[in-house]
Amino acid sequence: MKPSLRLFCVTVLTLAVAGCGKSPVRDRSNDYLQAVEVPPMSVPEDQSSSAIGELYDIPVIADTSAAPQRFRLPRPQPLSETTFEEIVKIDTFGDKRWIAINKPPAEVWPRIRNILSRSQVPTTRVDATAGEIETAWLEFKDDDVNSHRFRFTIRPGVGVNSTEVSILEMSAPLGKESDVSEWPQSSMSDAREQEFLQITSDALAHEINSGSVSLLAQNIGGDDRVKVIADEAVDPYLQIRLGYDRAWNSVINSLSKGGFTVLDQDRSAGRVSVEYKEIILVEEGGTTLMDLVLNFGQKDEELPPVKYQVTLSENQQIVEVRVLDEARNQLDRPSAMKLLKVIRGNLS
């Protein structure tokens, strides 16, 4: 028998014997069922525990009201036109400007790090929790008088799963960089800030490999700046952690989408009169499971428009948005939650 054929026969015989008895490799696929909860790691009082935290936080469910026993599955909200397309743009409001990208901070953070590393821009401070990256002092060929450094701030955006990247510039005379330590409130060179912002925006827009996610950046820049609050003790409302002016503009822009139509607005009073058209599915005889899944035997029906009052109020630098009926009375919780989620989904 040839050596190669002999080896083949031995291999087949070994596999056959292993298959007849107990496998030498233990099956670990169900080990997770035996997992037990262990106490959190304790850190001595004289040591910092900032690096220890939950890798996968369980989010709080916004709507804590009791679910009905029976309900009709609602028609899903239309997908945003930007759902499957990455959009990178520079937004401005007043004297502020930033890069807006419809990707979560956990994905944008490593991309900013990669852009700086690829451009050979050294960094002196990186704080994922605060969402800040500071560069070293840089010299430019077109400036033989000053050197510059930049602070990148990455934080959750106003839109769902979006990020805002802002840049602060600081300059100092060449050779006297050590005399400057405190960051200014606004960039010392507006032109340099715009230049770096445009370069970063172009790099983000042209970067194809954007699939990496940083676990450290899941809570980058703090909590989400927009939340739907639905505690049992209060009526549902939308909480926006922005200045009133920008929150107003964002809400007005949202109320022009998703079935809403703005009829009248009073910015000083914080009131917006709107009309909302809802589309529902009407059954036409579909009986099989496949009919229900594919919406066979159903058609869209547009309900008559309903008028509502949307109110904005500022409370300790937080803007609260509520939806009332035309007479400014409270809506029932399901209706209020539905409309607030439509507004929240279209914020930008």
Residue pLDDT tens, the chain, 348 long: 555 555 555 555 555 544 555 566 788 888 888 888 778 788 888 887 766 766 666 666 655 555 556 655 555 655 554 455 778 999 999 889 999 999 889 889 999 999 999 999 999 999 988 899 999 999 999 999 999 999 999 999 999 889 999 999 999 999 898 888 899 999 999 999 999 999 999 999 887 655 566 665 567 777 889 999 988 778 899 999 999 999 999 999 999 988 899 999 999 999 999 999 886 655 555 555 555 555 544 566 667 889 999 999 998 889 999 999 999 999 999 899 999 999 998 898
Residue 138, beta-bridge partner list: 148
Is 152 within 8 Å of 175 (Cβ atoms)?
no
Q: What is the 3-state secondary structure (H, E, C) of 315-331?
A: ECCEEEEEEEECCCCEC
Angle at which helix 244-254 crosses helix 333-345, to 10 degrees, equals 100
Tell me if the domain spanning 226-345 has CATH number 3.30.310.170: yes
Residue 323, beta-bridge partner list: 310
Q: What is the DSSP letter of 278?
A: -
Q: Looking at residue 138, what is its pLDDT? A: 93
Contacts of 140 by beta carbon, 8 Å cutoff, 6+ apart:
148
> How is the chain split into domains, by residue range?
94-217, 226-345
Tokens of 343: 């507004």
Tokens of 127: 């704080």
Total-model pTM = 0.71
CB neighbours (10 Å) of residue 312?
20
Q: Looking at residue 2, what is its pLDDT? A: 53
Q: Looking at residue 33, what is its pLDDT? A: 83
Q: What is the 3-state secondary structure (H, E, C) of 77-99?
A: CCCCCCCCCCCEEEEEECCEEEE
CATH topology of domain 94-217: Alpha-D-Glucose-1,6-Bisphosphate; Chain A, domain 4 (3.30.530)
- φ, ψ of residue 141 to 5 degrees: the values are -65, -30
Contacts of 168 by beta carbon, 8 Å cutoff, 6+ apart:
150, 151, 153, 183, 184, 186, 187, 193
Q: Looking at residue 187, what is its pLDDT? A: 95
CB neighbours (10 Å) of residue 270?
20
Alpha-carbon torsion 315, 319, 321, 327, what sign? positive
E strand intervals along 94-162 = 96-101, 123-127, 132-135, 138-140, 143-156
Q: Nearest-CA neighbor of 225 among 134, 321, 310?
A: 321
Q: Nearest-CA neighbor of 260 among 314, 321, 202, 219?
A: 321
Segment (H or E) for 6: helix 3-20
Q: Which residue has the tokens 């507004």?
A: 343
Beta-carbon-side half-sphere exposure of residue 215 (alpha carbons within 13 Å): 7
C-alpha angle 12-14-20 in degrees, rounded to nearest 5? 105
pLDDT 10s digits, 81-96: 445 577 899 999 988 9
